[in-house]
Structure formats: C-alpha cells, structure tokens
Amino acid sequence: MAALSTTDSAPLTLREVELRAKENLPSHIYEFYASGSDDEEALRRNVEAFGRLCIRPRVLVDVSRVDTSTELFGWKTALPIGIAPSAMQKLAGGDGELDVVKAAAGMCINMTLSSQSTTSLEDVQRARESVTAETQVQAPPLWMQLYLYEDMQKSTQLIRRAEKSSYEALVLTVDTPVLGNRLAERKTAVVLPPGMSLPNTTASSPQSSSPNLLPSVNRLLMNARTAADAQALRQASGSVMHSSSMTWAKSLAFLRRVTKMRIILKGIMTGEDAALAVQHGADAIIVSNHGGRQLSSTCATIEALPEIVAAVQGRIPIILDGGVRTGADVFKALALGADFICVGRPALWGLAYDGQKGVEAVIHILERELSRTMTLAGVSRIKDISRDRLGIVARDTFGISKL
C-alpha cells in the first residue's frame, strides 16, 4: 500500500494545521496573519519562550479520570481555552467569524469578536444562538473586543450594540496608541474584496455592503515618511480608531459610565500595569503583546506572566494569549498562574484549513494534548496545576531549576 501524503490525512498538530492553511491562502493573506512587527522578535519569543520551561512529572498518582474543565466569571467550561479576537476572518476562508463562532458554540468555548470583523456582531450572536438551540448545550459567553476612538463618544454606538446583543464583556485593547511597524502589510496591502466590509466600525452600518477604508488608513499611517507626517494623517482622517490619548482614569471611567458589561483589558505586559488595572476596577486582564504585532522588542507573554501574577494576587482573573501552540503550552501557562488561555492564529489556521470543521479540529487537538499532558504529569484537575510542576533550563549549570 502506498504511503498516505500529508494532505490525505487529518492534521495531528497545530503546526500541521498551519501548513494546510498556508497551502490554501494567498501568500499575502497568510503573511498578514502570520507576520509580526519589525524584526519579529516578539513573535518568535512568544513561541520559543515556552521551550525554556520543562514539566516536572509526578508518578503513582491516580489519573484515571482527568478533568480539563474550569470556571471563569461563574461560567463552567470544558476547557480553560477560548478564542482570541482577530480581524477580518472572512479573508481566511469559509464564512469567517460565523464558522468560528459556530465551532466555539458547539464545543462550549468562549469567543471574543474583533471590532474589525467582517461579520456584524448581531449576526455572530444569532449564529451562536442557533447552534446552542440546536445542540441544547450551555451557551458560552461572547465577548466584544474594542478599540477606543480618540473621541471616545464615537465608541458608544458599538458598545450599545454589543450590550443589546447580550455580549457579556468588553475586551479593551490597550496596546495600540500607534500601529506597530508591520512590514508585510506595508509591502503588500490587504484590501477587502467587493462585497466585504467591516460592519462593526463607525464607517459602516450593520447592513452596509460597501468596502470599509480602515485597512487603507492603517497602511497610510504605517507608511508615513516621518512621525510628523503620521500625526498629520491621523488628524486629517478624523477621530481614528486607535486612540493615543487613553489614560487609566479617563478610559475606565468612560466605559463604566456607558456600559454594565464586564471590562477586560487586553495588552497588559507588566506588573505595574496589572496593579493599576486592579486599582481602576478592571474585571480581568489579558497578558498579551498583540501576537508580536506591536512592540517587537518586548518579552514573550509567558515571560511577563510571573510578575503579573504576583502583582494581581488573585484579585481578578488573568488570561494569557500569545505563542500557545500545544496543550503542553496551556499546561505551562496555567502552572505559572494564568486562569484562562486564548488562542488567536491557531483558530485562523483552522478556519483556512477547513472552515468550521477546521476550527473544531484545532480545539480538539488542544484538548487531547492538554488532557494527555495532565495525565503524564500526574495531575487530574486544572486547579492542581501549580508552579511546582515546572522547571526552567538552567543557564549556567547543567540541569533543571525548580521555579
């Protein structure tokens, strides 16, 4: 019998899913999703930093029943994993955000919708409800990612729409006072094809079918010849979506005035900012460096996690995204103190590979890998994954140092 080619069998790892996605996508769309900023150092660190951590397995422990479930905001989920926001998912393939939310809803997985999605937040919510009604599973929460405009009042309409559609939290991105230097985007523009728009931005209504100009504006800003030119472009384009004037007191107070939804801050990378998030009443934080697409010289999110856990001291949930590519990575993040994990690019690769079924395949891979890792590490429950289960490769001596 002839050996099966890689395209004849289902992918077994997230890396194999990504390779299938790369085969299916136009090269500039793949690069748009896969690339980071500048020299892509943060992008690489996000993935590679997990490799410095080793799991210290314990044996002769009863792991005949491994439970991967956890709770977040009183919601019980089968996995400590959700789907992070990513823009313009219809460019990846299939029905874009609709395929992702159907996969998430069917598996009772949390999803955060990007404000720059190619599907309206109302349609995404309806798709989630249709799946949960059909399967009669518990409806997983939907969160709405938000960029605050310079004129914060211009964000109110989107917030109201999300609240009306029963989104349970606003995920405020706080690390984009200016866009990172994304070279792949600058070299090859990503243009929405006819009939595709960004219906959750101010420039379009939910019913609009006209192309949105936001990607073009972003590229103009990144390609400005000087910093002064970029500032002039920002002013000329009106109240741009990525505010550079947000402050702790002003931004959090504004959101508390206009919504009763939970407020989650995405883009926290230091203990100092984590402490301020608690002080100013955030309901949770996401340790994130925007997938390596903003400041390239920052550390990996898993490297930032320990000092953030120390600063928060269990007062609010800590969510981590960035670089998670295996169930073992999920285990390591939980061991270092994260309460929940979000994956972004892997969901896109699943979408590009096989639409809704591809996203489901990604979650199934992570679930199997996490369960197997817990079993082999001698841990039967998520809450028992602790820091003492990790070691770090010693720098100056041979061996593993306990954390």
Question: Domain holding 344: CATH number?
Answer: 3.20.20.70
Which pair of structure tokens corresponds to residue 291? Answer: 């997938």
Whether residue 3 lies inside any domain: the answer is no
pLDDT band at 241 (very low <50, low <70, confident <90, very high): low
On the question of pLDDT at 244 being above 80, the answer is no
Range in 69-83, 147-161, 309-323, 341-355 with the lowest mean pLDDT: 147-161
Annotated catalytic residue, options 28, 242, 280, 290: 290
CB burial string 153-188: b at 16+ within 10 A, e below: ebbeebbebbbebebbbbbbbbbbeebbbbbbbeee
Coil, helix or strand for 15? helix
Q: Is 52 marked as binding a ligand?
A: no
Domain count, the chain: 1
Q: Is 364 marked as binding a ligand?
A: no
Residues 34, 37, 38, 44, CA torsion sign: negative
Whether residue 122 lies inside any domain: the answer is yes
Residue 279: closest CA among 253, 257, 306, 242: 253
What pLDDT score was predicted for residue 195? 87
Q: Is 39 marked as binding a ligand?
A: no
pLDDT band at 44 (very low <50, low <70, confident <90, very high): very high
Whether residue 1 lies inside any domain: the answer is no
Query: Which residues, at least 6 apart from 36, have a Cβ–Cβ distance to it below 8 Å?
Result: 42, 43, 44, 180, 182, 291, 292, 293, 296
Whether residue 245 lies inside any domain: the answer is yes
Contact between 281 and 320 under an 8 Å Cβ cutoff? The reply is: no
Q: Is 167 marked as binding a ligand?
A: no
CA distance 250 to 176: 16
Whether residue 5 lies inside any domain: the answer is no
pTM, rounded to two decimals: 0.90
Which pair of structure tokens corresponds to residue 177? Answer: 């006072």
Q: Is 85 marked as binding a ligand?
A: yes
Tell me the β-bridge partners of 285. 265, 318
Whether residue 223 lies inside any domain: the answer is yes
Nearest 5°: phi and psi at 197?
-140, 180
Find the domain containing 220 and state its range: 12-393
What pLDDT score was predicted for residue 213? 44
Contact between 256 and 289 under an 8 Å Cβ cutoff? The reply is: no
On the question of pLDDT at 29 being above 70, the answer is yes
Q: Is 126 marked as binding a ligand?
A: no
Whether residue 403 lies inside any domain: the answer is no
Asked about 280 being catalytic, the answer comes back as no
Mean residue pLDDT of the chain comes to: 88
What pLDDT score was predicted for residue 228? 59
Q: Is 182 marked as binding a ligand?
A: yes
Whether residue 191 lies inside any domain: the answer is yes
On the question of pLDDT at 383 being above 60, the answer is yes
